Structure 1
Amino acid sequence: SSISGCTVNDGVFVFLHVSAQETCQSSSSSLYQERRLILVNVGDSVTLQCLYQKDDGGNPLFFWYKQPLRQEPKLISTQFAFDRKGTFHDEFKDEIRFTLKNEKHSLILTISDVQVSDSATYYCAKSMNRFHMQFSEGTNVFVKDENSFINALVQQSDSETIHSGDSVTLKCTASTGSCDGEPSVYWFKNSEDHHPSLIYTQSDNSDQCEKKTNKTHTCVYNLSLNNLNQSNAGTYYCAVTVCGRIVFGNGTKLELKGKKCCNMSNYYLYSSELIYILGGALMPTTTLLICLFLMMCEKKISQSKETTTKVGLSNKHIL
């Protein structure tokens, strides 16, 4: 779930949680975060940008929130539109890795030397008064630890070449070791023309996991894609949260070709049936043409005989 709106009553924030599809669609038109998903490695830097529209008046207050998986949002900072420096709150007060910048119609939060604990959804919010706030759609940040020694493995189905209009089911098998708690699964899509995007997430997977006697979990996740077109081409990644870490699969690449007509066996069967049908339809016409041809031949022969007879009689008369 994610933040969709916020009301303030005597300084107490009450957050409303809804599905990702309903997140701030109408109330956050004046706030925009370009990157919906960022995948980074431990030690990298992350820059989160929040674009906002200029108001006719007033000095709105802006917020940055961090919402880790299955946790409540945490307030990172507050900053007025005309303020060059913001204020960090709570656990972020002494966090030197977090920095703020206020440029023209843009708030920028930078996290340097990212750690696995920085994996979360980050929202920027805007408040014109103490009774109403607007939230952006949010940016999902996933931090991968290539040196992690977690006993977990995520395997995906092989890459495929399919045709437009086809359907396909992508398979992801995760062996998550002996960690407590049910894992969450994420599906990402990465293509050459766009930034990586989060297309599906599921946290309740109890019906898809098998717990063995040695306390290890094996989970199988399927992602069904129907009526595919060229926009579905790309590499699909499955990622599973394990022991507070996120483990990625090697990816399944989908390449799309044009619509297929039919396979060769059906083609030959169809061709044979078509020949029989056309042959049956043309048989009466062919028979009629043959009859007409024979009749014309007989008529010509008859006319030729009559002409020969008349010429013979005429010659006798002259003699």
Structure 2
Amino acid sequence: MWIKQKHGEKPLVIATSYHDQPAVFHNGFDMSGRFETQIAALTFNLTISNIEPSDTATYYCATTFLYDITFGEGTFLIVKGTSLTTHEVLQQPPIEYVQSGDSVTLECTVNTEGCSEDHSLFWLRHGSRESTAGIVYKNRSDQCEKSYETGSSTQSCIYKLPKTNLGLADAGTYYCAVAACGVILFGSGTKLDITGENLQVADSFFIHVLIFSNIILFLAIVLFVGVQCKKHSEGSPNYEMSLDAHSLLAGNPIKSY
């Protein structure tokens, strides 16, 4: 089956197919003639023609076996159209350099025109070692600082994301995503680079500890080997024989006892 879910709405089944049989459409998705399916062995593809802004949503494919339902990861489709010209999302600066332990406030400015619907704004972070971005915070529509341009119907709304006591886990690129008027827009992102003296001190301290521990380990090994050699020499059964051989080589007779 194919399922469509718009932000904030319940999922809708688009089409289903049983054992590679021709697809059956649901919820009126066959009325416009824009949705088609292609069925083959182990494949069930969905094609949407004449894309419209209302097609912006997340599309999931799923399979059922008895009472078990398995979903795919989903495809998030964002349609760029004329309705997007009434919205603009700005993020500044592109890169923010801060020191470990410091605080910073990220900003996202949303300019709107001709749309009275309240916004839903999400902050997402994408770390350097992560494959996907995750939501870290959601702003309410009443948490923005509103302003109006003189002689214009454009409204600006500034959302803020405060971050305190920053550490390495906070590094990454932060994106603001605005959902309003049936569309979702993303900012260009602000990369948060954690640098500074605190990290350098921590690295320097770690290096010195590592060097010191290696020196202690080396001295311990040398001491252990020296003690073992001394014990081996004192307890060797060939100790007196070596002395007699030395006397013989020196020309001294070997004494018998």
TM-score by length of 1: 0.48
Whether 1:68 and 2:6 are equivalent positions in the alignment is yes
Q: 2:27 maps to what in 1? A: 90
Deviations 1:21-46 (A, max 9, x none): xxxxxxxxxxxxxxxxxxxxxxxxxx
Contiguous gaps of at least 5 residues in structure 1? 1-62, 263-319
Separation (CA, whole Å) in 2 of partners of 1:149 and 1:248: 11
Whether 1:151 and 2:90 are equivalent positions in the alignment is no
- CA-CA distance at 1:76 after TM superposition: 0.6
Deviations 1:285-309 (A, max 9, x none): xxxxxxxxxxxxxxxxxxxxxxxxx
Identity of aligned residues (%): 32
Correspondences of 1:200-211 after superposition (within 5 Å): 200=136, 202=138, 204-208=140-144, 210=146
Does the 8 Å contact 1:188/1:197 carry over to 2? yes
Separation (CA, whole Å) in 1 of partners of 2:185 and 2:160: 17
Q: 1:49 maps to what in 2? A: none
Does the 8 Å contact 2:91/2:187 carry over to 1? yes
Whether 1:232 and 2:171 are equivalent positions in the alignment is yes
Q: 1:261 maps to what in 2? A: 201
Q: What is the one-letter code of the residue matched to 2:29?
A: F
- CA-CA distance at 1:134 after TM superposition: 3.4
* Aligned residue among 122, 136, 151 for 1:186: 122
Does the 8 Å contact 1:164/1:230 carry over to 2? no
* SS of 1:180 mapped into structure 2: coil
Q: 1:141 maps to what in 2? A: 76
Q: State the number of aligned residues.
A: 195
- CA-CA distance at 1:160 after TM superposition: 1.3
Q: What is the one-letter code of the residue matched to 2:115?
A: C
Correspondences of 1:34-49 after superposition (within 5 Å): none
Q: CA RMSD in A?
A: 3.9
- CA-CA distance at 1:137 after TM superposition: 7.2
* SS of 1:72 mapped into structure 2: coil
Whether 1:219 and 2:192 are equivalent positions in the alignment is no
Whether 1:244 and 2:151 are equivalent positions in the alignment is no
Contiguous gaps of at least 5 residues in structure 2? 203-257
Separation (CA, whole Å) in 1 of partners of 2:132 and 2:179: 18
Q: 1:45 maps to what in 2? A: none
Q: 2:109 maps to what in 1? A: 173
Q: What is the one-letter code of the residue matched to 2:133?
A: S
Does the 8 Å contact 1:187/1:236 carry over to 2? yes
Does the 8 Å contact 2:144/2:160 carry over to 1? no
Distance change >3 Å, CA 87–CA 221, structure 1 → 2: same
Deviations 1:215-259 (A, max 9, x none): 7543222234564426832x3322323433333323212234471
Separation (CA, whole Å) in 2 of partners of 1:203 and 1:170: 12
TM-score by length of 2: 0.57
